[in-house]
């Protein structure tokens, strides 16, 4: 009689309750505590990120394009921004201006300029050496009128019968670059640009906080986050 032995192998199921508890304690957002990953704070964070993104979207596109153009002014040049320069000489009236402010007002009328001058300064007369002799250099007036598209730069030596004026006319890309730098713009534009810059800062912070595990492990997040910063510091260090 053949004795048959049946061996039974027991399959041990891994106890995943501990892992599940850890997962429940873990926030689904990589950089947010679990207490903040639900409820009112997360709702506020998402709305802030969305509304600030909408507020800055159009002008951020402008600053992004002009930022690329400005980065390539000297190296790997992108010759999109063009400025046309024209130099003219204006005869002064019989009754000469008595101050640099009077000169600026006369230029404003003569050139039909609506905006107020952005700079008006006077350089006092001084003794200079010319061909081995001491010569009195007359007083010099400089006046500028500027907006993003056009700039007038005037120069006048007191006592001359004419003033030299240089006119700068910019194409659309140069105009946009000037907007980026807030050149020739008023306080309102500067404050608006500041609000966009502030929005980008907050968007960066809220974007980091909203970065979830679904996009990858925390180590990868840290690597991506600090990668650009490390490259930036390295390239700055190489420039010195």
78 and 121 part of one domain: no
Tell me the whole-structure pTM to 2 decimals.
0.60
Structural contact between residues 66 and 182, judged by C-beta atoms closer than 8 angstroms: no
Task: Provide the residue range defining the domain that includes 52.
Answer: 32-82+172-211
Query: What pLDDT tens digit does each residue of the chain (240 aa) get?
Result: 455 545 454 444 455 555 555 555 555 555 556 666 566 777 777 787 778 777 877 788 888 888 888 888 878 888 888 899 999 999 998 888 889 999 999 998 888 888 776 788 888 888 877 777 777 888 999 999 888 888 999 999 998 899 999 999 999 888 888 888 888 787 888 888 888 888 888 887 777 767 654 455 656 666 666 777 777 777 777 766
CA distance 48 to 35: 19
Tally the domains of the chain.
Answer: 2
Residues 76 and 186 both lie in one domain: yes
Asked if residue 70 and residue 55 are part of one domain, the reply reads yes
3-state secondary structure of 66: helix
Tokens of 88: 């003219």
Q: Is residue 108 located within the same domain as residue 36?
A: no
């Amino acid at each position: 009689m053949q004795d048959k032995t049946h061996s039974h192998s027991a399959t041990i199921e891994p106890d995943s309750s501990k892992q599940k508890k850890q997962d429940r304690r873990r926030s689904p957002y990589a950089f947010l505590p679990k207490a903040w990953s639900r409820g009112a704070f997360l709702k506020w964070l998402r709305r802030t990120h969305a509304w600030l993104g909408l507020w800055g979207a159009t002008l951020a596109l402008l600053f992004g394009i002009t930022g690329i153009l400005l980065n390539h002014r000297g190296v790997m040049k992108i010759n999109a921004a063009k400025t046309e320069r024209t130099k003219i000489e204006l005869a002064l009236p019989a009754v000469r201006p008595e101050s640099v402010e009077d000169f600026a007002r006369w230029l404003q009328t003569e050139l039909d300029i609506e905006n107020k001058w952005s700079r008006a300064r006077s350089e006092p007369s001084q003794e200079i050496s010319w061909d081995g002799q001491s010569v009195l250099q007359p007083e010099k007036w400089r006046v500028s009128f500027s907006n993003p598209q056009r700039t007038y730069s005037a120069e006048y030596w007191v006592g001359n019968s004419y003033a030299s004026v240089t006119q700068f006319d910019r194409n659309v890309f140069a105009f946009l670059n000037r907007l980026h730098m807030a050149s020739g713009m008023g306080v309102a534009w500067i404050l608006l640009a500041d609000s966009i810059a502030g929005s980008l800062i907050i968007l960066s912070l809220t974007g980091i906080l909203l970065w979830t595990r679904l996009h990858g492990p925390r180590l990868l997040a840290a690597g991506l986050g600090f990668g650009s910063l490390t490259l930036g510091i390295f390239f700055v260090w190489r420039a010195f």
